[in-house]
Amino acid sequence: MAIRNAGPFFNDKDIEEILNDIKNSLKSGMLTMGQNIEQFENQFAKYIGVKHAIAVNSGTSALEIALRYFDVENKEVIVPTNSFVASANAVIFAGGKPILCDTKDETLCIDPDDFRKKITPKTKGVIVVHLAGLIPPQMKELKEICSENNLFLIEDAAHAPGASLDNKKAGSLGDAGCFSFFPTKPMTTGEGGMITTNDNNLANFAKSLRHHGKEGAAHTRLGYNWRMSEIQAILGIYQLKRLDEHIGIRNQIAKKYAEGLENVNGISLISVPSNIVHSYWKYPIILTSGIEALDLQKILKNKYDIDTGTLYYPPIHLQPFYKQRFNYKEGMLPSAEGILKKETCLPMFVGLSEKETDHVIDSLKKEMG
């Protein structure tokens, strides 16, 4: 029984309708910046609960556009080290310096205490990553720190479409939300991203920057081609329609994992407060026995044909580029370094069967029992 780690899901009915809409788009000749983009943006903004949603070609583009709006050139932006490298890279591309921050063992998300320590007169803002789809339970504290220090807060919600805190969606909690629609994410457009905000000026800036800095008939700033295609938007419209359903399925799988692994020796689970809806892009577990994550991943693959993942190892500050460019060394962010060696992610995707989930749980019990 081969089980993959992640993947997109489209049901047969949606595939049929998507193909028909793509056919109509091809016949129209309008393949970019057309009615499907507008529809997707409007529906996404309404879903998130913000004034504006601006479609772009990747989550990385979304981050860089937001960072350019906040003018981080020659400034510092605090970024949790436990994230995909794009979160920090976007700061560099926008002309700033990423200051990498430690994480909390209990959530794998940014540590508010270390965030406070990293603030300097050059700090312009923070990127808060909703890791694996979990909005940090300390979000209120993070926002208060930003308010006290006049810092912007960008939500890196790449993992978290459909997640919420106190009934407020990820992407509506900061100054800007940045989403990725990569194929493994809870919703996908193949490639693509979205910026969400209530800031009219940011929305106008983003629409201009994604289209070579164009405003009206003139190019008023240096922009780039960060546009989303009409065909990608068609995929997004159908995925958004199914998002709550799919998040519900992911939560059902997560519940089954939690019940099956609750009393397994050597495994600790990440608890989710009742006021948070987790989008479960991935399902991380922490290994508390002697075995390390990479070794367990090899065992699960070789003995049971189960693919697993990680969030993320090595962390950003121990990636070769960041060690060379910013002189990061082992021991500088000890919580992330320690916990991420013990963290692995179980298969999580819509379409994962009950039989497959049982196989994952049983395999873990055999190896950890």
DSSP for 239-285, please give it: HHHTHHHHHHHHHHHHHHHHHHHTT-TTEEE----TTEE---SSEEE
Region 303-319: mean pLDDT is 95
Residue 2 confidence (pLDDT) = 92
pTM above 0.95, yes or no: yes
Q: What domains appear along the chain, each with residue ranges and CATH number?
A: 12-241 (3.40.640.10), 243-368 (3.90.1150.10)
* Strands laid side by side in the 343-346 sheet: 267-269, 283-287, 343-346
State residue 147 phi and psi, 5-degree precision: -65, -45
pLDDT tens for each residue of 150-177: 999 999 999 999 999 999 999 999 999 9
Euclidean distance between CA atoms 113 and 98, whole angstroms:
17
User: Is residue 289 very low, low, confident or very high in pLDDT (cuts 50, 70, 90)?
Assistant: confident
Contact yes or no for 184/228 (Cβ under 8 A): no
CA distance linking residue 229 with residue 223, whole number of Å: 17
pLDDT at residue number 43: 98
DSSP 3-state of 59: helix
Asked if residue 249 has pLDDT above 90, the reply is: yes
At residue 109 the predicted structure's pLDDT band, cuts being 50, 70 and 90, is very high
Largest CA distance in the chain: 67
Is residue 301 predicted with pLDDT exceeding 80? yes
The answer to whether residue 321 scores a pLDDT higher than 90 is: yes
How does residue 103 score in pLDDT terms, banded at 50, 70 and 90?
very high
- For the cut 90, the answer to whether the pLDDT of residue 223 exceeds it is yes
pLDDT at 1: 72
Q: How high is the pLDDT of residue 290?
A: 80
Query: Rounded mean pLDDT of the chain?
Result: 97
% of the chain residues with pLDDT over 70 = 100
What does the buried/exposed string (b/e) look like for 101-121 if buried means 16 or more CB atoms within 10 Å of the residue's CB?
A: bbbbbebbbbbbebbeebbee
